Structure 1
Amino acid sequence: MSSSVNKIPRFRSVRRYGTLALAAAVLSAGLTALDAPATTAAQATANDSFARTTSNGWGTATSGGPYSTWHSSNTKMSVNNGQARITGLVAGGSSVATLKSVTSTDVAAQGDITFTKLPSSKTTVYAALEVRRQSDDSSYRGRIIGKTDSNATLQLSRTNKGKETHLGSFTLPFKVKTGEQVRLELKATGTTQVELSARAWVVGQKTPAWQLSKTDKSSDRIKASGNFGFWTFASGNNPGAVDLAVDNLSLAPAAASQPEVTAPETSKPEPITPPVINSSRGAGTLGSANYAVPSNAIYVASNVSGTQSGTKAAPLGSLQKAIDTSKNGQTIVLRGGTYHQSATVPYGKDNLTIQNYPGEKVWLDGTKAVTNWKKSGSTWVASGWTSSFSNKLLNVANNTRFVDPKNPLAAHPDMLFVNGKQLKQVANAASVVPGTFAVNYATDQLILGDDPTNKSVTASALGQAMSIVGKNATVQGFGIRGYATAYDSERAALQMQNIGATVRNIQIIDNAMTGLAVQNNDSTIDNVTATGNGMLGISVNSAYNSAVTDTIASNNNVEKFKPQPVAGGIKVTRSRGMTLDNLEINRNTGMGLWLDESVYDFTVTNVQANNNTSVGIEAELSSKGIIANNEALNNKTGILLFDTGNVKIYNNNLGGNSLMGLQLSQDERRQSNKSFAGQDPRRPVPDSTVPWLTQNIEVANNIFDKSGSFQFYTLDKATGISADKMKITIKGNLFSARPTTSTATMVAWGGSDNKKLYRYESPSALSSAKNSTWKNHQTSTAKLIGSMSADRTQANSMATPLPTDVAKAIGSTAGKKVVGKH
C-alpha cells in the first residue's frame, strides 16, 4: 500500500459557539481509506487532475503512470496551476503525450481543453484524445478542430502507422474562444467491428448526446488494446503560435455495444438503452434503470437452485461469490428481487461494476422476516433472535458527544419495521408500548408493542450491504435498505473506500447510521437518494477531485443524534476540488450540507437546503469556494462560514431562518496549531491554502428576508479580528427593511473586542460607514422572501455582474445582473 494512509475523521476538537470539544489526540480513531499503490504494471484506467508542477513534460498522472511526451521544436510542455500546458505551438507544429502504463480496449476517454492563446484570425488548431495507441503510432482519435473564423468541428479518425483516415465529422454549435474550456469525450468499443462515438461542448453547458458515431469494419481497424494519450497539431497556415491547457484527463472502461447472446435465447439481445433516471435530483424509480450488459457479465439471482455458473441461464445465488469469481473490469448483474446479503469487494479487485438487470427492481435488504411471535401480556415476543450490534461510538458506548440524552438509544443499530414503518427502540421489555420495540441480547428476544397478526414484521440482521475496497468501482441501479450499521465497525450501509468510486442511481434508505460513505479521490455520487438514515445521509472524506450531483439527502438523522460532531444530510471533510451541484438537502435533523476540516476549492451550487434544524449550508475550517444560486430557507441559520475564507457567496435566497440568514464567524483555531483537529493529513502543517481564517468574503446578489435576529452577521468571538479586517465585500444584495426591533437586523458588524456589534439598518448607512461603492437594495417594509418578487425586479439593476467563475459554476452567463437564485 501507499505510505499515505488517510483516517476518517469521526469528530473534531472544536470550539462551537464557545464550547470546547474533545482534545485532538483522539482524532486517530477512524477507518482507513486506502490510497492506490504506485502502478508499475499496465492498467486499464487513468485520471489526471494535474495537481502538480513540472517545468519539462507532464510528469506522472494522478492515476496512470508517467507521461511519454514529444513536441516540435520551440514548443514547451509543462504542468502548473492545475493544468497541463502546451505553449508555443507554431504553425505546422504538433505534440503528443501518452500514458504507456495504461493499456485498454473498450474505453470512454475525456479531457477538458482550453485554448489559452489564439492568434486573432485565420487560425486552426487540432486537439485530440487518442485511444488504442500502438507502438507504431496507430490509434483512434476523437478530435476537435478549433477555428477563429467559424464554428468548431468534431471529427473521428484512425491512424495506421502515422497515416490518418477520416471517419466522420460534425459541425459543433459553437466557436472556440480564448480562455473558454471545452470538454471532449471519445468512446471506442468492440473488435469484430469497432464502434466509435464522440461529443464536445463548452464546460458549464448541458452535456449533449453523442454527436458523432461511426462503425469501423475495415481490415485496418485497430483491434488490439493500446495506450491512452493526447495529441495536438497547429495548421501550417496559422499566423502565429498557439497555446493550450488540458485538464481532467480520464479513461474508464466502456461496455461494448454489441448485444449479448446467451443460449438458448439467441434471438433476444440484452437491452442497451440509456438508464431511465430522474431528470433532476435523486435516484429514479427502482426498477427503471436500463444499463447495458456486457457479454461477459456475471449474473446473480436472489432465489436460485441447481447449477450456478454465473451465466444468465444459471445465475449465482450470492453476490459475494460473484465478486470472488469476477475478473478485473467485469460487470455483475443482479436479477430482480430482494437480497438479504452482505458483500465485500477486496483490495486488488478493480474496475468492477455492480448493477441491476435492465428494468428489474433490486433491493439489498439488511432485514429479515420475523414470524415466531407469541403474546406475552400486552406485548409480543419472538425468541431465538441472535443478531447483535455494537452501540459504541469512538469505542465509548452511547457516547454522549454524539448521543442526546433525550434519545438515549440512538447509538443502538437495531431496527424493526411493521408493514414497512420503523418503530422506536426502547431500553427494555418493561418500556415497550405500541409503536415501540426492545431487544434483549441476554435472552435472544425481540419484544414488540404492536399486534403482529396479519402484518409484515422485519428486523435488521445484517450490518452492511457492501464495503468496496477495489479501485474504480461502479454501483448503479438498485436500492439498499434496513442495514444495522454500527458507527465503529461498518460505519455506512454502502462504503466506497478506494479511488475512482462511482455511485449512480442508487436509493439508500432506512439504515441505522450513515447511508453512504465515500472515502477516496476521483469519486462521483450522482442521482443518489439517501433518506431516513439514522445519523447521516452521505459522508465524503479525503476525496480530492470528486463530485456530488443531482442527489437527494433529506430526512436523515432520524435517531436525533446531536448536530455536532456529525449528523444531518451530507458532510464533506478533508477534500480538495469538490463539486456539489443540484442537491436537495431538506428536513434533516441537524445540518443540511456541511463542509468541514480543510475542504479546499469547492463549489456549492443550485442546492436546496431547507427546513433543517441547524444550518442549511456550512463551510468550516475550509477555504476557496463558491456558494451560489442556492436556497437556504427555514433553517436555524441559512449559510454559515466558520473559520473559512476566500469564498464568493452569490445569488442565494435566504429566508425564514430562525436565527440568521448569513453568518460569518471566527474562533481561536488555526491550521498551523496541531493541537486543534481538522488538518488534512495529506497536506503540510502549516498549509497556507487553508489557514482557517474568515477573510476575503464576497457577498453579492443575495436575497435576505426579515426572519430571525440577523440578516447578515459577522463576529470573531475569540481572537479580536474585527470585521473591518476580514476583507468582506457586501454589494448588489436585496435586504428586508427593519422598521421595528421585532424583525431582523440588516447587518451586524463585529468589533475587535470579541463582543461588540455595530448595526446598520439601511444600505446607505452601511455604505457610508464601510465603503461608498457598496450598493445594495432594501424593501420599503419588512417582508418575507415570498413577498419580495417586485423588489427583486427593482434590485436587479443594482446587482453585481456575475463573475466568470461564478457564472460557470451555476450554469449562467458571465456579466449577467440578477438578484437571488435564478
Structure 2
Amino acid sequence: MRLLVNRGMTALALMVLASACAGSVDQSTTTSARQPTPPQSTTVVRIPGPLSESVMLSPAMDVERVIASAPAGTAFIFEPGTYRNVSIEPKNSMSFVGQPGATLNGSTVLEGFTQQGSVWILAGINAEGRVQGNCKEVALMCSRPEDVYINSVLSQQIEDANDVGPGTFQLNYDTGVLTVGDDPAGQIVELTTTEFAFFGTASDVTIDGFIIEKYANPAQSGAIQAKSGNTLALRWRIANNDVRFNHGVGIKLGAQNVAEQNRVYANGQLGIGTGPGGFDNIIRDNEVYGNTTIGFLPGFETGGMKLTTQTRLLVERNYVYDNAGPGIWTDIDNIDVTIAENVVENNLGPGIFHEISYRAVIKDNTVTGNGFGWTQWLYGAGILIAHSPDVEVTGNVVRDNRLGIIGIQQDRGTGAYGERELRNLYVHDNIIVASEGSSGIGQDIGSEAVFSEWNNRFESNTYYVNANEYFRWLGKVLDFNTWNSFGNDLEGQTFEIDAFDP
C-alpha cells in the first residue's frame, strides 16, 4: 500500500478507497517505459481545508472508477505504464500528472488473426465510432475514426477488402471482420477504440506529463477535448504531454486554456484546435509537427493548428513544421489575435494563415519553406491574410516559401464583427527572401478598392529576391520602382538573394 501525503499538513483524515485490480487491463506499451508491479489498493489522504486530495494510480487499477469516485480538487499521479482504453471526465480543480512513461492509450490490442492467402483476418470486431470529416479521393475512409497501428506504424483504411495489401486494412462494419495486409505474427496490432482521453466541461483542470495516443476521436474532436457539445471548459492547463497517433485533433481547447510545452504530432486530422467561442486561450512553446496523416482534404481543418472564433488569442514561441496543411491557421471571426515568435517551417499550406477574421498582430515569426502543397491562386504564402481587416504584419523573416506575404480579397460576406474585407493591412519592417513567387495583394471581386481605398500598405520591408518583378499589385507582378509608385515600401530596400545573411 502506498501512502501519498501532501506537504504542510497539520491534521489528517484518512480515507482508503479499495481499488480491485482489473485483470483484463492490458499493460503492453509501445514505449520503453518500465512496467511496475501495481499496488493492490490506493490510499487517499484527505487534507482539511482548501488543500486537495492526492491519489497514486497504477495501470492495473480501475482508473476511471477511482477518478469518478473522488471529489473535486483531487490530484492524481499516474505511475509509468500503459493505461489502455481509459477515458477521463474530470471534475472541477482536478489535476492529472503522469510520471515519465505514463501512457494513456485509446486502442485495443488484437490477437488471433487467421491467414487467408496474402491477407490476415480477425472476426468479432465491434467498433464503430462517429463518422466525421471530408476526405481526399485516395483516402475515402478517413472519416471513420477506427485506425490500425502495427508496431505503432499507421495502416491506411480502405473501402474494399479485396484491395488490402501491405500498409492497408479494411474493417467491415456490418460483419465485424477486420482484414489487414501485413503479417501480424510477432507484432503489436492495435485498433483505436476509445473516443477521448480527457473530455468535459469542468474548470481549472491540469493535464501534465502524459503520452496520449491512439484514440478514436472523430475529426474536429480532440483526444484531449476541453468541451462538451457547445459548452467550453474553462482554465485547463495542458502541459508537457506527447499527444500523437490520434485520429482527429490532438488537443481541442475550450476557453482561458493554456497549452504549453507539448509535443503534438502525427495526429490524423490536426494538431491543435479550438472550440467555437473560445477566449483568452494561450498556445505557447509547443512542438507541432507531422499532423494530417490520414487523408483529410487540405481545406478541412488540416495542418498544425486551426483556431476558430477566438477572442484574445495568443500563439507564441511554437515550432510548427512538416504538417500536411497550414502551419498556424486562424479562421472565422477571430479577433484580437497575436501570433508571435513562432518558427513555422515546411508546411504544405500557408505558414501563417489569417482568414475571414479581424484584428490581429503577426510579429517576429520565422516562416520558411511553406505553401508548396497549396498551388491554387495565391494561397501558398508564407504569411497569408485573407478577407480580414485591421491586421499588422511586422518583424517577420519570411524565407523561401511558395509566395511571400500576401493579402487577398474575395467575396466572403459579413462576419461577427463586420464586413470580411482586406482593410488596414499594415505590412512593415519584415525581411522577405525569395527565389520565386511574389508578395503583395490580389483580388477577384472585380474592384480595385482593395488597392486604392482600403488603406492597405507595405512599408519599410527588405526584400532579397532574384526576380526583378516580384511585387503583386493591381493584378500584375511589378518591379520595385513601379511598386514604389503606388506608395508601397518607399523606405524599403531590395537586394540580390545571395546577399542575405541569416
TM-score by length of 2: 0.83
Q: Secondary structure at the match of 1:299?
A: strand
Using the TM superposition, give the Cα deviation of residue 698 of structure 1 relative to its aligned residue in structure 2, in angstroms.
1.9
1:409 aligns with 2:141: yes
Equivalent residue in structure 1 for 2:279, among 536, 541, 544: 544
Question: What is the total number of aligned residue pairs between the two structures?
Answer: 450
- 1:693 aligns with 421
Using the TM superposition, give the Cα deviation of residue 735 of structure 1 relative to its aligned residue in structure 2, in angstroms.
1.1
1:724 aligns with 2:452: yes
Distance in 1 of aligned mates of 2:274 and 2:174: 37
- 1:577 aligns with 312
- 2:66 aligns with 322
1:618 aligns with 2:349: no
Residues 460-489 of structure 1, C-alpha deviations (whole Å, 9 max, x = no match): 12222221221121111111101111238x
Equivalent residue in structure 2 for 1:377, among 113, 117, 131: 117
1:650 aligns with 2:386: no
Equivalent residue in structure 1 for 2:500, among 785, 789, 800: 789
Using the TM superposition, give the Cα deviation of residue 775 of structure 1 relative to its aligned residue in structure 2, in angstroms.
0.8
Alpha carbons 1:435, 1:450 under 8 Å: kept: yes
Alpha carbons 2:222, 2:248 under 8 Å: kept: yes
- 1:368 aligns with 108
Alpha carbons 2:435, 2:467 under 8 Å: kept: no
Distance in 2 of aligned mates of 1:513 and 1:530: 12
- Listed as ranges, the matches of 1:160-559 within 5 Å are 257-258=7-8, 296-303=53-60, 317-345=61-89, 349-357=91-99, 360-393=100-133, 402-487=134-219, 491-497=221-227, 498-519=233-254, 521-541=255-275, 542-559=277-294
Distance in 2 of aligned mates of 1:466 and 1:544: 20
Letter in 2 for 1:693: E
Using the TM superposition, give the Cα deviation of residue 259 of structure 1 relative to its aligned residue in structure 2, in angstroms.
8.3
Distance in 1 of aligned mates of 2:6 and 2:408: 53
Letter in 2 for 1:649: V
Using the TM superposition, give the Cα deviation of residue 262 of structure 1 relative to its aligned residue in structure 2, in angstroms.
10
Using the TM superposition, give the Cα deviation of residue 555 of structure 1 relative to its aligned residue in structure 2, in angstroms.
0.7
- 1:770 aligns with 487
Q: Secondary structure at the match of 1:722?
A: helix
Q: Secondary structure at the match of 2:267?
A: coil
Residues 260-316 of structure 1, C-alpha deviations (whole Å, 9 max, x = no match): 9999xxxxxxxxxxxxxxxxxxxxx999xxxxx97720232111xxxxxxxxxxxxx
Q: Secondary structure at the match of 2:64?
A: helix
Call closer, same or farther: CA 1:261–1:480 in 2, change over 3 Å: farther
Call closer, same or farther: CA 1:286–1:573 in 2, change over 3 Å: farther
Distance in 2 of aligned mates of 1:788 and 1:407: 44
Residues 158-208 of structure 1, C-alpha deviations (whole Å, 9 max, x = no match): xxxxxxxxxxxxxxxxxxxxxxxxxxxxxxxxxxxxxxxxxxxxxxxxxxx
Distance in 1 of aligned mates of 2:86 and 2:307: 26
Q: Secondary structure at the match of 1:321?
A: helix
Distance in 2 of aligned mates of 1:468 and 1:722: 44
Call closer, same or farther: CA 1:667–1:552 in 2, change over 3 Å: same
Equivalent residue in structure 2 for 1:735, among 456, 459, 463: 463
Call closer, same or farther: CA 1:392–1:369 in 2, change over 3 Å: same
Using the TM superposition, give the Cα deviation of residue 719 of structure 1 relative to its aligned residue in structure 2, in angstroms.
5.6
Using the TM superposition, give the Cα deviation of residue 439 of structure 1 relative to its aligned residue in structure 2, in angstroms.
1.2
Distance in 2 of aligned mates of 1:663 and 1:256: 55
- Unmatched 5+ residue regions in structure 2? 14-31, 35-44, 46-50, 228-232, 372-380
- 1:749 aligns with 473
Letter in 2 for 1:747: F
Distance in 1 of aligned mates of 2:156 and 2:82: 24
Letter in 1 for 2:358: S
Residues 381-429 of structure 1, C-alpha deviations (whole Å, 9 max, x = no match): 1222222223344xxxxxxxx2111221211222112222111222232
Call closer, same or farther: CA 1:719–1:387 in 2, change over 3 Å: same
Residues 333-377 of structure 1, C-alpha deviations (whole Å, 9 max, x = no match): 22221111333426xx311111124xx421110112212111111
Distance in 1 of aligned mates of 2:73 and 2:479: 62
Larger radius of gyration: 1
Letter in 1 for 2:387: D
CA RMSD across the alignment: 2.7
Fraction of identical pairs, as percent: 21
Call closer, same or farther: CA 1:727–1:302 in 2, change over 3 Å: same
Q: Secondary structure at the match of 1:723?
A: helix
Residues 771-808 of structure 1, C-alpha deviations (whole Å, 9 max, x = no match): 6x8211111x3x2xxx4434x8xxxxxxxxxxxxxxxx
- 1:638 aligns with 382
Equivalent residue in structure 1 for 2:478, among 760, 766, 770: 760
Alpha carbons 1:616, 1:638 under 8 Å: kept: yes
Call closer, same or farther: CA 1:597–1:739 in 2, change over 3 Å: closer
